[in-house]
Amino acid sequence: MRQWQGFVRGLPQAQGSARAFRNPRTGQPILVSKTRNVTEWRQAIRFVLQSEWLGAPTEGAVGLSLIFVFPRPKSAKKGKVFHTTRPDGSKLLRAAEDAMTGVAYVDDSRVQSGVVKVYGEEPGVHIFLCEVEETAEAAYAFYLEHGQRVFDAVKGAKE
């Protein structure tokens, strides 16, 4: 069972809605993300993962645990751990999943994930990725591990 964990530095970007327009020369539709820096963010994730995930993309189920770290704004109350403003976790997850497609797994429909947003000193994303067996015990073990990682991140954010 392959697994990988790492940290990608940078301000996490959400993959929001896209706008479409037609190429005047070819008539083909072109989709452009409304989020400015999402392409660079996805490339950063992909670059870090490509250098360390060995072998072909897995075709089985994949456990993905993501802890997004945002800089604490001056307006945030002291002791506040969770980042509860935009961007939302599902759009952050979408950008990260798309960045890892074709490197770690063949399609993001295979991903079982947990996402948390916290405040911390260094912005970025902690990624834990592992191939998982499709059993109830393996699923339970993955979510226990994700919960422990969240606890560790929250504990680190408070200190």
**Residue 78 and residue 81: Cα distance in Å, rounded?**
9
Q: Residue 145 — pLDDT band, cuts 50, 70, 90?
A: confident
User: Whole-model pTM?
Assistant: 0.84
More confident residue, 159 or 136: 136
What is the predicted pLDDT for the residue at 92? 96
The average pLDDT across 108-127 equals 92
Domains, the chain, with CATH or none: 3-158 (3.30.1330.70)
Residue 140 confidence (pLDDT) above 90? no
